[in-house]
Amino acid sequence: MDWGMKNRLNRILQPETGRTLMLAIDHGYFLGPTSGLEEPYETVKDLIPHADSLMLTRGVLRSCIPPGTKIPIVLRMSGGTSILKELSEEGLTVAVEDAIRLNASAITLSVFIGADGERATLLNLAKLVDAGHQYGIPVLAVTAVGKDMVREARYLGLACRIAAELGAHMVKTYFCDGFEEIVRNTPVPIVIAGGKKRPERDALQMAYDAIQAGASGVDMGRNIFQSDSPVGMIKAVRAIVQKDAGLEEAFTIYEEEKAGTPVLEPQPA
């Protein structure tokens, strides 16, 4: 692996912990208007200081995020479908040269294993890995779940292993029972998606369980930006991912931020 590839990976997976907190705001690429993302920058400006990277499309990056923003970018490179039709028929939507122009630290696409678009999306992953290697940009494969597929270890493990075999540098999937086995069978770091909004304590429990089971972090969106305290949630998730906080400690961080009495960061003596 060359220096540029390693350097970009280190921008995402923090070298001190080998873990990452990605903030995902790319939902509009197939969902269209998404609650909480009406004005993307208004939503993320107070969250960015607590995230290790921001995952989004080039359209929202160019239109909404000030170029002076200090956050590594994970750029979505796939799309072409909407919730009105077959989601698995995604194609590549961005040239790698544009990802370079946008100073992406990593590039990402979805693969749909077990769905109509399986072959095309897996070949897209292989193409993106080749393009990424040409310029030293790591690829995150998102193991998307088709509407008929269940989120269970047998299926998600298949998807993660195939993505890693095709050269993905990181894989994103859903947390499920038997997650340790998925981690054991996937020779690259795994991050979990948050999925639909759930109660804050449940979302923190899921993040905690995933880290305990060997996840290298989270790529979370709705459970942060749709929370009644987005800053509280991102701080709490960060404590779990980067500081090995337990569930109670993390939930207290969320509750105190929500109540307006945030825990003070330790100050240097």
Smallest distance from the beta carbon of 156 to ligand 5RP, in angstroms? Answer: 14
**Minimum distance, C-beta of residue 267 to ligand 5RP, in the bound complex (Å):** 33
State the Cα–Cα distance between residues 169 and 171, nearest whole angstrom: 7
Residue with smallest beta-carbon separation from ligand 5RP? 194
Q: Which residue has the tokens 């909407």?
A: 82
- How distant, in Å, are the alpha carbons of 74, 111, 170, 198, 233 from that of 256? 30, 39, 33, 19, 10
Q: Closer to ligand 5RP at the Cβ: 217 or 221? A: 221
Nearer residue to ligand 5RP within complex by CB, 53 or 223? 223
Opening angle at CA 159, ends 220 and 92, nearest 5 = 70
User: What does the DSSP assignment read for 114-170?
Assistant: TSTTHHHHHHHHHHHHHHHHHHT--EEEEE---TT----HHHHHHHHHHHHHTT-SE
Which active-site residues does the annotation give? 172
Least distance in angstroms from the C-beta of 23 to ligand 5RP: 9
Strands 217-220 and 20-24: parallel
The smaller minimum CB distance to ligand 5RP, of residues 26 and 200, is found at: 26
Cα–Cα distance, 246 to 74 (Å, whole number):
28
Give me the least distance between CB of 107 and ligand 5RP, in Å please. 13
For residue 195, the minimal CB distance to ligand 5RP (Å) is: 5
Task: CB nearer to ligand 5RP: give 73 or 142.
Answer: 142
Return residues touching ligand 5RP (CB under 6 A): 24, 26-27, 55, 110, 142, 144, 193-195, 219-223
Nearer to ligand 5RP, 223 or 242 (CB): 223
Looking at beta carbons only, is 31 or 263 nearer to ligand 5RP?
Answer: 31
User: How far apart are CB 154 and ligand 5RP at their closest, in Å?
Assistant: 21
Q: Report which DSSP code applies to 19.
A: B
DSSP 21: E
Give the contacts of 202 (CB within 8 A, at least 6 positions apart): none
| E strand segments, 160-230 | 170-173, 190-193, 217-220
Backbone φ and ψ for 222, nearest 5 degrees, come out as -60, -35
CA 106 to each of CA 20, 71, 76, 79, 217: distance values in angstroms, whole numbers, following the listed order? 13, 12, 9, 17, 15
